[in-house]
Structure 1
Amino acid sequence: MKLTPEQLEAFDREGYLFLPNVFSSEEIGLLRDEARAIYATDREEVWRKSSGVARTAFAAHTYNEAFRRLGAHPRLVEPVTQLLDGPVYMHQFKINAKAAFDGEVWQWHQDFGTWHRDDEMPEPRAMNIALFLDEVTSVNGPLMFIPRSHKEGTQAAGHDLETTSYPLWTLDRATVTRLAEEGGIVAPTGPAGSILLFHSNLVHASPSNISPWDRTIVYLSLCHVDNHIRKFTRKDWIAHRDFTPIQPLPDDCLSELASKHAAE
């Protein structure tokens, strides 16, 4: 899947791009079922809140066939390869859950800030592409972006080890206020099967989910192979060490698997 010149221009200007209905209901149904099965396992890659509710499942593409195929899906890999102008590898893969009534907040941050400080990724030649497994609405914990904040570079940040179960380099209130006064705040919403691409320096956060509706999103963090990390202190299922360029699979790789599962 290739982005148009207009889409490339919008991404460069705003720092993100929202594309609705990229994946079919059959493909999403398969992935949603597989995500629930993963959350029910007792793997170290599945992080939970103190209540036991699943928050994040890391590296599912290494132990689940459906997510292995998603991690090399051309509808996700090709646009990022286009934006980063070259081959990419998987820096991080995670399925983030905001369970109904129990979804936790994610503080204001830049992803490159964490990748640079914790993993020694040299430059912000990496980005996220996110796939909605549930409908994302204004009330179930949507991602919030500060448009054009990626143009401001990497901001100073503090290491938050207490607010949530996941350590994060977060921005202070004064910085967020200044950037938001300049760029505003948006929260893209849409049906399951939609995707969000966003720059690794785009400032973003998400509120808690106290609605009765789940909000699950898969994130592929893809990095240009020349920009691979240099520090290896985090577990390899959090910050991957295989810098092999991803070879996209056929476009029907997920629908084929969904059909197979439906027939069983």
Structure 2
Amino acid sequence: MTVPSIDRGTADGGAANRRSVDAYPTRHLSGVLHVERRDPVVWADASEGPMAPDELRDYRRDGFVTVDPLLEAGEVALLRAELARLCDDPAVRADERTIIEPDSEAVRSIFEIHRISPLLRELVADPRLVGRARQILGSDVYIHQSRANLKPGFDGSGFYWHSDFETWHAEDGMPAMRAVSISIALTENHVHNGALMIMPGSHHTFVACPGETPHGHYRTSLRRQEIGTPDPDSLTELADRHGIAVLTGPAGSATVFDSNCMHGSAENITPYPRSNLFIVYNSVHNALTDPYAAPEPRPDFIAARGR
């Protein structure tokens, strides 16, 4: 089974070649702006697919749902060995798709993993993943982004609070909140080793972020993001309103979450590594246009525009 890709300007009747109205302005603003979500959370008829009605209900309400297990132990072992192989490969480490920790030589992320590894190419096309994405988004899908996030013991830095959609909208030109992420644990995610944190229900509010986007911003933001992060007052308001869920789970478990969830993770100062695979599926009806708040689009290995 394959996940179809799109050609720029064809999947949405040419939408990628037109400048759509900006429903979620960000970065070019002088003050704080919160916009209530203008897109569905679950699109179209979601009756067919691997997600049960109660899972879809929770996803609509909270913006995420956990799947435990998604992968079997044998599959996890193969994927973990493959990730170790990639991290040890000098060619992969030297590739621009590999991001190194800002304060060490440890691998932080490897992007476009489904194009680097045949095993991971099979995974992103697996019906257990694609079926959930299609069910939520109400359409066929393609891979907007794939990556491995690693937090080695004692040496894994955190990811500050952010909405992925704010960056994908501002820097990639994603028009609508019609994308879904699936984070798959390859190691146990403890409360103390940098597990994913999400503010349940935060996906209903878009928080504009301050700061102009400089040229080539991705070169620094992938190591340590500063522009594209919400102001402290907005984060406090969202946390007070929604609380914070810490998503722990064994290897093989997964979190399916909305593109606009406010989420982040702390650094890992424990001896126990945390490695997750991260796959983003975008609807073929949500083709990327020009960036809404950046001087140029990010490279294809970060934000695929179809090939």
Paired position in structure 1 for 2:97: 45
Structure 2: distance between partners of 1:242 and 1:215: 31
Query: For 1:44-99, what per-residue CA distance to the aligned partner results, in whole angstroms no more than 9, with x for missing partners?
Result: 21110241100000001012111000110111111111001111110000100011
1:234 aligned onto 2:298: yes
1:15 aligned onto 2:73: no
Distance 1:158 1:30, change over 3 A: farther
Structure 2: distance between partners of 1:163 and 1:242: 23
Paired position in structure 2 for 1:86: 139
Q: Which amino acid aligns with 1:46?
A: T
Percent of pairs with identical residues: 35
Structure 1: distance between partners of 2:248 and 2:87: 24
Q: CA deviation at 1:233?
A: 2.2
1:219 aligned onto 2:272: no
Instruction: Show structure 2 runs of 5+ residues with no match.
Output: 1-48, 291-295
Aligned with 2:306: secondary structure?
A: coil
Distance 1:164 1:74, change over 3 A: closer
- Normalised by the length of structure 2, the TM-score is 0.76
Structure 2: distance between partners of 1:147 and 1:96: 22
Kept in 1, the 8 Å contact 2:153–2:270? The answer is yes
Task: From 9, 12, 34, give the equivalent of 2:82.
Answer: 34
Structure 2: distance between partners of 1:173 and 1:64: 39
Structure 2: distance between partners of 1:139 and 1:11: 25
Aligned with 1:177: secondary structure?
A: helix
Structure 1: distance between partners of 2:235 and 2:139: 32
Structure of greater Rg: 2
- For this pair of structures, how many residues does the alignment match? 242
Q: CA deviation at 1:166?
A: 4.5
Distance 1:164 1:123, change over 3 A: closer
Correspondences of 1:1-264 after superposition (within 5 Å): 2-41=50-89, 42=93, 43-50=95-102, 51-152=104-205, 154-158=206-210, 165-167=223-225, 169-231=228-290, 233-242=297-306
Larger helix fraction of residues: 1
Structure 2: distance between partners of 1:35 and 1:23: 16
Kept in 1, the 8 Å contact 2:101–2:156? The answer is no
Aligned with 1:219: secondary structure?
A: strand
Structure 2: distance between partners of 1:230 and 1:219: 23
Structure 1: distance between partners of 2:248 and 2:297: 35
Moved beyond 4 Å, runs of 4+: 159-164
Structure 1: distance between partners of 2:196 and 2:50: 24
Query: For 1:227-261, what per-residue CA distance to the aligned partner results, in whole angstroms no more than 9, with x for missing partners?
Result: 01113621111111227xxxxxxxxxxxxxxxxxx
Q: CA deviation at 1:22?
A: 1.5
Structure 1: distance between partners of 2:75 and 2:224: 29
Query: For 1:72-128, what per-residue CA distance to the aligned partner results, in whole angstroms no more than 9, with x for missing partners?
Result: 011111111100111111000010001110111101100000000001110010111
Q: CA deviation at 1:172?
A: 1.3
Structure 1: distance between partners of 2:281 and 2:151: 23
Kept in 1, the 8 Å contact 2:162–2:228? The answer is yes
Q: Which amino acid aligns with 2:88?
A: A
Q: Which amino acid aligns with 1:145?
A: I
Paired position in structure 2 for 1:253: none
